[in-house]
Structure 1
Amino acid sequence: MGTSSYLAFLTALSVFTALFAIIYQAYLASNDLKTLTVILQNLKNLEHQYAVHRPRVAIGYGSCSDLYVKAVNFLNFTDNLEHLLRQKTFAVDDINTEDDFLQSFAYYFQRGAAAERFTVNRELFQNLVKLAKKSSSAEPRWALGGNAPVIGSRLAAEGAEVLLGAKMSSKLKSHLKADITLTGSLITDDDIHLILEYKTGDEWGSLRTPRANRYILHNDHHNPYLSSLDEFEQGLQGFNPHLFVVSGLQMMDNYVYEPGVRENLLKKVSNQMQAQSTDALVHFEMASFVELELLQLLLRHVVPYSDSIGMNEQELDNLRHVLETGKISLVADCNPRVAQSLDQARAVIRILNEDYFRHHVTNPKRRMLSRIHLHTLAFQAILVVGGSKWNHTKNAAAKASLTAHRHVCASQIVNPDAAYRLLDDSFASSLQDGSTRIPFTEHDPVSCWNETIITNEPSHRLDVEICVAPVLICKVAKQTAGAGDNISGAGLILQI
Structure 2
Amino acid sequence: MLTTPKMTVLRYMGWLTGCSVFTAFVSIIWQAFISLQALNRTTVLLTGLLAIEGSLKRSTVQPAPKVAIGYGACTDLQINATEFLERYYGRRIPATTAGSREIVNNEDELLQSFAYYFQNGAAAERVMANGTLFKQLVGYAKQMGKETSGIQWFMGGNAPLMAVRFFMEGADVLLGAHMSKKLRPLLPKEIRLAGDEIPDDDIHLILEYKAGDTWGSYVAPRANRYILHSDRNNPHLRALEQLTDALKVYHPQLLVVSGLQMMDMFTFNPGEREARLEQVQRQLTSQPLDTLNHFEMASYVELRLLQQLRHFVLPYVDSLGMNEQELANLQQVLAHGRTVLATDWNPRIAHTLDQMREVFISLLEDFDEQSRADPRRRRISRIHVHTLAYQAILTTAGSQWKNTRAAAAKAALTAHRYVCKSQFINPEAVLQVLDDSFATSAQEDAPRMRIGAASPVPCWREYIEYGRQRQRLEVEICVAPVLVCREARKTAGAGDNISASGLAAQL
TM-score range, shorter chain: over 0.9
Mapped pair 1:66 → 2:76: yes
Secondary structure of 1:414 counterpart: coil
- Distance of 2:230 and 2:159 partners within structure 1: 18
Contact 1:253 1:290 in 2 (8 A): no
Cα drift, residue 37 of structure 1: 1.1
Alignment partner, residue 286 of structure 1 = 297
Mapped pair 1:48 → 2:42: no
**Which of these residues, 128, 133, 136, is aligned with residue 124 of structure 1?**
133
Alignment partner, residue 109 of structure 2 = 100
Alignment partner, residue 364 of structure 1 = 375
- Over 3 Å counting, the alpha-carbon distance change for 1:138 and 1:112 in structure 2 is farther
Could you tell me which runs of 5 or more consecutive residues in structure 2 were left unpaired when the two chains were aligned: 1-6
Alignment partner, residue 463 of structure 1 = 474
- Distance of 2:453 and 2:222 partners within structure 1: 25
Secondary structure of 1:383 counterpart: strand
Secondary structure of 2:103 counterpart: coil
- Distance of 2:97 and 2:247 partners within structure 1: 48
Secondary structure of 2:208 counterpart: strand
- Distance of 2:223 and 2:275 partners within structure 1: 37
Mapped pair 1:312 → 2:314: no
Secondary structure of 2:338 counterpart: coil
Alignment partner, residue 214 of structure 1 = 225
- Distance of 2:342 and 2:213 partners within structure 1: 19
Alignment partner, residue 159 of structure 1 = 170
Secondary structure of 1:367 counterpart: coil
Return the letter of the residue paired with 1:452. Answer: Y
Alignment partner, residue 235 of structure 1 = 246
- Distance of 2:102 and 2:285 partners within structure 1: 33
Return the letter of the residue paired with 2:380. Answer: L
Q: Name whichever of 254-263 and 275-284 sits farther off.
A: 254-263
Q: Name whichever of 250-259 and 302-311 sits farther off.
A: 250-259
Cα drift, residue 339 of structure 1: 0.4
Q: Name whichever of 413-422 and 458-467 sits farther off.
A: 458-467
Q: How does 1:46-445 map to 2 (within 5 A)?
A: 46-52=52-58, 53=62, 54-76=64-86, 80-82=91-93, 85-136=94-145, 137=148, 139-445=150-456
Q: Name whichever of 231-240 and 242-251 sits farther off.
A: 231-240
Contact 1:46 1:398 in 2 (8 A): yes
Secondary structure of 2:327 counterpart: helix
Cα drift, residue 327 of structure 1: 0.5
- Distance of 1:457 and 1:304 partners within structure 2: 19
Q: Name whichever of 441-450 and 130-139 sits farther off.
A: 130-139
Secondary structure of 1:18 counterpart: helix
Alignment partner, residue 9 of structure 1 = 15
Secondary structure of 1:237 counterpart: helix
**Which of these residues, 20, 30, 34, is aligned with residue 40 of structure 2?**
34
Cα drift, residue 68 of structure 1: 0.4
- Over 3 Å counting, the alpha-carbon distance change for 1:443 and 1:186 in structure 2 is same
- Distance of 2:97 and 2:414 partners within structure 1: 37
Mapped pair 1:486 → 2:497: yes
Return the letter of the residue paired with 1:97. Answer: N
Return the letter of the residue paired with 1:20. Answer: V
- What number of residue pairs does the alignment pair up? 494
Contact 2:318 2:378 in 1 (8 A): yes
Contact 1:94 1:254 in 2 (8 A): no
Contact 1:93 1:104 in 2 (8 A): no
Cα drift, residue 9 of structure 1: 1.4
- Over 3 Å counting, the alpha-carbon distance change for 1:138 and 1:305 in structure 2 is farther
Secondary structure of 2:198 counterpart: coil
- Distance of 1:282 and 1:255 partners within structure 2: 29
Return the letter of the residue paired with 1:268. Answer: Q
Could you tell me which runs of 5 or more consecutive residues in structure 1 were left unpaired when the two chains were aligned: none
Larger CA Rg, structure 1 vs 2:
2
Cα drift, residue 89 of structure 1: 5.0
Cα drift, residue 240 of structure 1: 0.4
Return the letter of the residue paired with 1:247. Answer: S
- Distance of 1:383 and 1:405 partners within structure 2: 21
CA deviation map 1:148-207 (0-9, x unaligned): 000010000010010000001111110111331111111111000000011111100110
Contact 2:80 2:208 in 1 (8 A): yes
The percentage of aligned residue pairs carrying the same residue is: 51
- Distance of 2:347 and 2:158 partners within structure 1: 24
Q: Name whichever of 86-95 and 97-106 sits farther off.
A: 86-95
